[in-house]
Amino acid sequence: MSASDPSPNSQDAPKGELALRTLAMPADTNPSGDIFGGWVMAQMDIAGGISAWNRADGRVATVAVDGFTFHRPIYVGDVVCCYTDIVHVGKTSIQVLVSAWVLRGRRPENRIKVTEGTFSFVAIDTEGKKRDVPPLDNL
């Protein structure tokens, strides 16, 4: 990537709240030295689950991931920041837009959007059965 080839949305600020921040480590790489996409998706699922749990006021389960797009690779040493924005709340479900940004060289001015996707969660009870998401005024 050259200076004339900025990352997608590099001028945009992340939307939503910071739900997770972690460091990409050597154990998370593929043979080429890039961070595995599956590891990134897992971090994003955790971040989305945290936000969905808070909104559902309890246990949730991931039921779908849509529109997942990788813009740039993640490297060892990048600080991975996952931001969440709840985009829809249904009777038993919550959709969360999760975007992953990295701090390349651990510097805030080197923030790059690397991927995003919409995660769908369903609120569940202690037995794993669907339950209603409470209205905001009950939280």
Neighbours of 129 (CB within 10 A): 10
Q: pTM here?
A: 0.87
Fold of 17-126: Thiol Ester Dehydrase; Chain A (3.10.129)
Among 66, 80, 61, 82, smallest CA distance to 16 is for 82
Share of the chain above pLDDT 70, in %: 88
Domain spans in the chain, listed from the N-terminal domain onward:
17-126
pLDDT in tens, 21-47: 999 999 999 888 889 999 999 999 999
Give 68's pLDDT tier (boundaries 50, 70, 90). confident
Paired strand residues for 86: 96
| 3-class DSSP assignment, residue 78 | coil
81-112 pLDDT, tens digit each: 999 999 999 999 999 999 999 998 867 778 99
